[in-house]
Structure 1
């Protein structure tokens, strides 16, 4: 998708009508099919008239849908999600990488000062169970968050989606539960589809994503959006966000040391820990 077109949608999103948001959402998620679409076909798919589609395109500065199709012709629609790191002449590449990472970390910590953050922590503490799911290259993030939360509260599970229908997440959660969905950059279709199914079932939903995911606040008020990283393979900001979440859940849950002690006793009893190496006594505390 043209970067200019994407930027236009993001800049004008708050001013769009409900019908215009339907059109924008469809175009964002079905850009590959656009060469085969007309104003009439788009209108039918989203439930608006062809004239509404035409007015929407003109409001964005295009004479018609055809103009947009011409603009994106030959564009590799996935590339804008993978932002190349800025090249700075005569600068240390490691320093440039560090600066990009630092901006991401700052954005994650800024989220911990928001009203939305407080509501999300309260939800994660009070829910009778927490189900976490994540998608594509973000899969390991969801597993990591679930494992961390299991240390500080009971009844936390990672839903691996092995049967693609997520019955454990959709059928076993209630209005007293909480579902956390995680995805970054190119957003898997399942990410939004499952999010909408969770909301339809009136299950409290938390979305953890990046600032390019413009539609997330439309689905749920419980959204944490870290700055879209210039280093596409970096997840340090999200990892830091998870650390902050677990710290605040621990604080709001009261004394979690009893739970941690019992977990460690079980591990020692059932699995065991490595002691000090031969000839090296354990360090005194």
Structure 2
């Protein structure tokens, strides 16, 4: 084959059917997890039939999903397969809580690796530079991801001014959509996706406001409405999807912005610490007299 798996998946994401795009999107964003999937488990996660997975693989020139995974080694190297036998053995023979924790741990480790891989991409650097240089940064989060969005906005406010967590109660997003000047938007969302997330991203894009979407690997609409889509794994053999790795990604983004801004950011950090000390104070470590 002239092309490896990754570029073939990229072609399917651009030109395939809705089912093909869903499968390609999941596999591209969860490449490190693909070795641990079966055709049945992949079909269940993407919401298609097992037969559709087979047809998708054959449309790209592979005999089966198993054949695709064999060719995928050229893209990933042998690293994901180093633990595959252990994971298979745990799945087959152990049904205790401890075995589930072992499996979840392996999956979370793979997710952390994926987050750090994202931090090495050109898209990441582009987003970091924009977050550091835009006149204003707006942040939105919906449903359970609202807390992560607030964390990101609060941390960014330590580094630079004009960082705003959008007020969802207003019902119009005028803070960002009616703003003037050079602004950008960061959205946090995971399935089942709030319709507001997609509408806000689409409206911002139409107005020329760059959008960075931080989401899960199942999101198949993000590339249509955002300049960058950072999709993180959220399934770790637990009852509920976990967005914990979104927080890891947040920290890396914040660190990237800090490095991009350079030494001058220290002045703002000291000023904020002094203000906090003046109004509220830190336990056992006053940095300024508390105002009365």
- With normalisation by structure 1, the TM-score equals 0.66
1:241 matched to 2:239? The reply is no
State how far apart, in whole Å, the 1-side matches of 2:109 and 2:157 are. Answer: 28
Kept in 1: contact 2:210–2:227 (CA 8 A): no
Q: Aligned to 1:238, what secondary structure does the other structure show?
A: helix
Spell out the pairing of 1:199-238 with structure 2 (5 A cutoff): 199-230=205-236, 231=238, 232-238=240-246
Question: For residues 72-221 of structure 1, what are the structure 2 equivalents within 5 Å?
Answer: 88=91, 89-90=93-94, 92-172=99-179, 174=181, 176-221=182-227
Structure 2 SS opposite 1:184:
coil
Residue 163 of structure 1 deviates from its aligned partner by 2.2
1:13 matched to 2:19: no
Aligned pair count? 206
2:202 touches 2:225 (CA, 8 Å); kept in 1? yes
**Which structure is larger by alpha-carbon Rg, 1 or 2?**
1
CA positional deviation for 1:10: 10
Contact (CA 8 Å) 1:10, 1:214: kept in 2 or not? no
1:11 and 1:183 mapped to 2: Cα distance? 25
Q: Which of the pair is proportionally richer in helix? A: 2
For residues 114 and 93 of structure 1, what CA distance do their matches in structure 2 show?
32
Following TM superposition, by how much is the alpha carbon of 1:270 offset from its aligned partner in structure 2, in angstroms? 1.1
Select the structure with the greater relative contact order (CA < 8 A; seq sep ≥ 6). Answer: 1
Structure 1 unaligned spans of 5+: 1-8, 26-56, 62-85, 277-285
1:134·1:182 contact (CA, 8 Å) conserved in 2?
yes
Q: Which runs of 4+ in 1 moved over 4 A?
A: 9-12
Choose which of 256, 259, 281 in structure 2 pairs with 1:251: 259
Q: Taking structure 2 as the reference length, what is the TM-score of the superposition?
A: 0.64
SS at 1:187's partner residue? coil
Secondary structure at the aligned position of 1:162 is classed as helix
Q: Compute the displacement of 1:13 (Å).
A: 3.5
Query: C-alpha separation between the residues in 2 aligned to 1:229 and 1:129?
Result: 33
The offset of 1:104, in angstroms, is: 1.6
Structure 2 gaps, min length 5: 1-8, 23-51, 57-87, 286-292
Q: What displacement does 1:142 show?
A: 0.7
